[in-house]
Structure 1
Amino acid sequence: MKTIQLIPLFMLFVLASCSSVRVNADYDKKVAFDQYKTYAYVKASIDKVEISDLDKKRILYAIDDAMAAKGFTKSENPQMLVSIFTKESERIDVYNNNSWGMGFGWGWGRNFGMNYNQVYSTPEGSLFIDFFDTKTKDMIWQGEGSGYLTKNTDKKDARIKEFVDKILEQYPPALKN
């Protein structure tokens, strides 16, 4: 009976663990990030991203919204260039319930009806957002977000916005004085 109660709890844990976006950011510690107020996209790198044009637009629209909220403006003469890169993989989770316990008779034995394996496969993706100084062409900041992907068209906008917002929460970096 305990096994039946644990399965829904386990599924809730799996779904909850899949819903978040894990983020990392790295940056050039010698850069004064307050000097940047304008940006533009590196069209050549955007064109190379191997996702649908619709998903590219979703990502770029989400970046535009997040950058505008931070006070940045898109410009023909930008101080900063923005590039994106994506990767996709399959995340495999295996739940193995091989329990041992006291059986009937003498000694230890295997419990009956409690042993099973469940395998869950989830498409997982990573989105990288890179910022370059226009004058030096040096990368000044990189943010990465990883998490599950959805093929449900109705949920794609929200999921991509979540990725971009979580990544760009890390920009500009909090510099220590």
Structure 2
Amino acid sequence: MIGRILALALAMLLAACASPVTVKTDFDAKARFDGYRSYSWIAEPAGDAPLVPQSIIQGIDARLQARGWKRVAEGEVHVAAHVTTRDGQTYNNFYSGIGHDLTWLGFGPVPDSVTMSVDPYRAGTLVVDMFDAKSRRAIWRGNASGILPDDPSRLNASVQGALDRMFADFPPGTTRR
């Protein structure tokens, strides 16, 4: 019985630690993505870790170039990416004892204890915007947000995974083979 409770508690703890990245995209249905062949950067992301913005730019470049787009000085599409982060804390309480005073049953007071821990975390959001260079209208937006891993290699893997999901159906309205 206690083994099952411990297994359930461990499963719940692992599920709470797994912070999925939320990815959303939106686009202008009137935009003709099949007509675009080039892009240029108008705003590159900045971040706390020096390699993260570089990784984001290279990741977006690779995904756009895989779709046949070419990076040039003045492209048909202007790309901007922005990163925001915020620090937060998670409070964890662990209660021991049964939590009730059983004096009225003749057992006397049962000592209870509460152990509290504070776990810091960093949450981040990546927003990628694309604009038609001629009309200056927004044509596509990708947004990814979630808890950032502490380990730099896991952080890069998380960013690349978010970009994979963000550009999975890009360009919209076209059939990918």
- TM-score, length basis structure 2: 0.75
Structure 1 residue 153: deviation in Å? 2.6
- In 2, are the aligned partners of 1:21 and 1:166 still within 8 Å (CA)? no
Output one character per residue of 1:75-101: Cα deviation in whole Å (capped at 9) or x when no partner: 234111111001112354455667988
Output one character per residue of 1:85-131: Cα deviation in whole Å (capped at 9) or x when no partner: 01112354455667988885768xx9975866555432110000110
Structure 1 residue 59: deviation in Å? 0.7
SS at the partner of 1:61? helix
Opposite residue 136 of structure 1, the aligned amino acid is: S
In structure 2, how many angstroms separate the alpha carbons of the residues matched to 1:123 and 1:95? Answer: 17
Provide the alpha-carbon RMSD of the alignment: 3.2
Specify the alignment match of 1:168 in structure 2. Answer: 167
SS at the partner of 1:164? helix
SS at the partner of 1:55? helix
- In 2, are the aligned partners of 1:94 and 1:120 still within 8 Å (CA)? yes
Number of matched residues?
Answer: 169
Output one character per residue of 1:27-81: Cα deviation in whole Å (capped at 9) or x when no partner: 2222122211211111xx22x7344442211111111111122222212341111
Structure 1, unpaired ranges of 5+: none
In structure 2, how many angstroms separate the alpha carbons of the residues matched to 1:94 and 1:53? Answer: 30
Say if 1:88 and 1:69 are closer, same or farther in 2 by CA, change over 3 A: same
Output one character per residue of 1:136-165: Cα deviation in whole Å (capped at 9) or x when no partner: 222211110011213323333322211222
Output one character per residue of 1:1-34: Cα deviation in whole Å (capped at 9) or x when no partner: 3654443122211122x1x220112222221222
Of 7, 10, 13, the residue aligned with 1:8 is 10
Percent sequence identity over aligned pairs = 24
In structure 2, how many angstroms separate the alpha carbons of the residues matched to 1:113 and 1:13? Answer: 27
Query: For structure 1, which segment, 159-168 or 136-145, has the greater mean C-alpha deviation from structure 2 after superposition?
Result: 159-168
Specify the alignment match of 1:137 in structure 2. Answer: 136
Structure 2, unpaired ranges of 5+: none
Specify the alignment match of 1:76 in structure 2. Answer: 73
In structure 1, how many angstroms separate the alpha carbons of the residues matched to 2:30 and 2:95? Answer: 53
